[in-house]
Amino acid sequence: MKILYIHGLSSSGQSSTVATLRRLLPHDTIIAPDLPIDPKEALYVLLQTIKHEHINLIIGSSMGGMLAQKFRGIRKILVNPSFHVSHSMRQKLGTNTFFNPRKDGATEYEITEELCNLYEEIESQQFYNIPDNDIECTIGLFGTYDDTVNCSDEFLQHYTHHYTFNGGHRLDEATIRNSLIPLIATMQHTRVLTITDAEAVQFCVEEWLCLPSNAISLDMHDFHSLATGAQSLIAVQVNGDRFDLQLLTTLSNAIENTPIAGQANAMILYQCQRDDAVFEWMKTDEYATINKKLQSTFQNITWGNYYKDASSNYDASVLVVIAQY
């Protein structure tokens, strides 16, 4: 299993917690990057790590717990999460020292009002639209003697799997061995779907892909069929000025040499006012060429029109949903 560990504000990927996890979990891969201090840059680093390393589980500690909570469709353990780290940061304005060494050699960092405002902005949106499946696959682990931060009650307002250990804010080896490792073991047997129900699909289409709400005219059963048994779903929006879908060839090329090539299913949802125009296009050599390429990349492909509006023009906005099994 690949585990992403997200450290706290003044820590790094070279912490004693990371070293202990690697020693106690020799058959798993622990990935622990040093995060930029800017929270938006940190989230970008984490997103790229999750995508490229095919992460199975996230463990976030303190500030790392707040950042981990923002990722949907992946198993998470939040250890003493600091959902409002900006509050404590405002008490530490100026130069601060890192607790652990960092790969870039930095030993200090600056907390400014601007930096606190960036964190506050991130925090204000952290519990937005949590799918039911994320509630089931997110665990909170809290120290009963944590006098640094205590967000236990706030966690329970949004999640249900709440555990405690006899300790404070920072983890020691006994806590990792006796409390954290058993929770990691339970998560190994938990399956996560990125999209599991109509509400999550609607959130994906409206918020993530920024499409209008009336774009969802497709029967949600089609999404459910695609999602059943999937370990993950990836959604990509492709835009063009005409319905030739050449960008799908680029997408196919990108996937061709990845582990999911030949093993994933794709749903290609075009946006067009007239179905008959698409049916005519599907008789052309252009379609035959693109479809042949896609057939070599995916196990199964489903096509469907997901947007009909009499006032709109014929366009080529395409939503591609790829299910990995």
Per cent of the chain over pLDDT 70 is 64
- pLDDT (tens digit, 9 = 90+) per residue, 188-241? 654 333 333 344 444 444 443 333 333 333 344 444 444 444 544 555 544 444
Contact in structure between 70 and 129 (CB atoms under 8 Å): no
pLDDT for 5 beyond 70: yes
- pLDDT (tens digit, 9 = 90+) per residue, 244-275? 455 566 666 666 665 556 666 666 666 555 55
133 is written with which tokens? 């499946």
Q: Assign a CATH topology to domain 198-324.
A: 60s Ribosomal Protein L30; Chain: A; (3.30.1330)
- The DSSP-derived string for 137-154 is TEEEEEETT--S---HHH
pTM, to two decimals: 0.59
Please, where in the chain does CATH 3.40.50.1820 lie?
A: 2-187
Per cent of the chain over pLDDT 90 is 26
SS3 category, 26: coil
Instruction: Assign 129 a pLDDT band (cuts: 50, 70, 90).
Output: confident
User: Could you tell me whether strands 57-61 and 75-79 are parallel, antiparallel, or unpaired per DSSP bridges?
Assistant: parallel
CATH number for region 2-187: 3.40.50.1820
Positive or negative torsion for Cα 39, 195, 188, 160? positive
Query: Tokens 């984490």 sit at which residue?
Result: 46
| pLDDT score, position 116 | 94
39 is written with which tokens? 């929270």
Please, where in the chain does CATH 3.30.1330 lie?
A: 198-324
Q: Which of 83-87, 96-100, 101-105, 319-323 has the highest mean pLDDT?
A: 83-87
